[in-house]
């Protein structure tokens, strides 16, 4: 995939899947804008790591669950690079509890970071993409948003919301040359999954057809494809990358 000259924003890109996506898009030639919410030094370290490969990258500390944070992120990208070609909505958190132990704050935090951020970032970015009559928006959903999972009613609702949002938005902006797609990963080998007990990880592996968990790079490759001209006729689609996991 050749993304030379394209400007890509990747939210939540200081670790895990988001970091792999940022590196893969940079490798494909994109100018990248990486983002984190709480650690300015970490954001800058990620940006510097990409710059060390000879690629242009800017780090922006911003809470994409808020309008102010999103405006800061988008405005910084546009002021520096003049356009936005690719938006990857990846920022996400978990606050897992059964419904009777889940607080209103647990619910609100997850919906704000995982789903409201997709709305805010997409809307702010589309102001520029609509003028360009081109663009790619790719949002990271989850297999949990399709099948659900006990103890994750807030997370599953947020990820299911991304799927519905993707399908709807694709119908609104397709005529302007903008594609809107989502990826629904299964269980990926990240810091988050490594916190699980070994028996639970082995169970998850057993639920896949391939017998192993995916890597962040598996998701990054799919994002690079959907961001490229090779995916010009794909929109409103949800791509499951889960090793053949049909449910949990």
Active site residues: 155
Query: Which of 111, 145, 104, 109 is closest to 247 using CA atoms?
Result: 145
The CB-side HSE value for 82 (13 A sphere, CA atoms) comes to 2
Whether 118 and 40 have beta carbons less than 8 Å apart is answered as no
Whether 163 and 184 have beta carbons less than 8 Å apart is answered as yes
Q: What is the DSSP letter of 165?
A: H
Length of the chain: 248
User: What's the start-to-end Cα distance of the chain, in Å?
Assistant: 33
Cα–Cα distance for residue pair 123/188, rounded to 1 Å: 29
Residues linked to residue 10 through DSSP beta bridges, in sequence order:
34, 88
12, burial (CB in 10 Å: exposed 0-12, middle 13-18, buried 19+)? buried
Cα–Cα distance for residue pair 111/73, rounded to 1 Å: 20
Whether 218 and 20 have beta carbons less than 8 Å apart is answered as no
């Amino acid at each position: 995939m050749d993304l030379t000259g394209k400007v890509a924003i990747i939210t939540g890109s200081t670790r895990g899947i988001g970091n792999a996506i940022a590196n893969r898009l940079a490798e494909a030639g994109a100018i990248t804008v990486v983002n984190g919410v709480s650690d300015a030094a970490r954001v800058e370290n990620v940006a510097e790591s990409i710059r060390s490969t000879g690629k242009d990258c800017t780090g922006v500390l911003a809470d994409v669950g808020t309008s102010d944070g999103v405006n800061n992120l988008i405005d910084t990208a546009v002021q520096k690079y003049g356009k936005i070609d690719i938006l990857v909505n990846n920022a996400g958190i978990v606050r897992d509890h059964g419904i009777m132990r889940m607080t209103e704050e647990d619910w609100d935090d997850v919906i704000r970071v995982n789903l409201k951020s997709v709305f805010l970032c997409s809307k702010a970015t589309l102001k520029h993409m609509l003028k360009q009559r081109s663009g790619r928006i790719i949002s990271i959903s989850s297999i949990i948003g399709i099948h659900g999972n006990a103890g994750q009613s807030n997370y599953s609702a947020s990820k299911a919301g991304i799927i519905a949002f993707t399908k709807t938005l694709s119908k609104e902006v397709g005529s302007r040359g903008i594609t809107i797609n989502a990826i629904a990963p299964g269980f990926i080998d990240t810091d988050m999954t490594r916190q699980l007990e070994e028996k639970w990880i082995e169970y998850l592996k057993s639920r896949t057809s391939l017998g192993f968990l995916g890597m962040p790079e598996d998701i990054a490759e799919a994002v690079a494809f959907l961001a490229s001209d090779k995916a010009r006729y794909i929109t409103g689609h949800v791509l499951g990358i889960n090793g053949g996991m049909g449910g949990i």
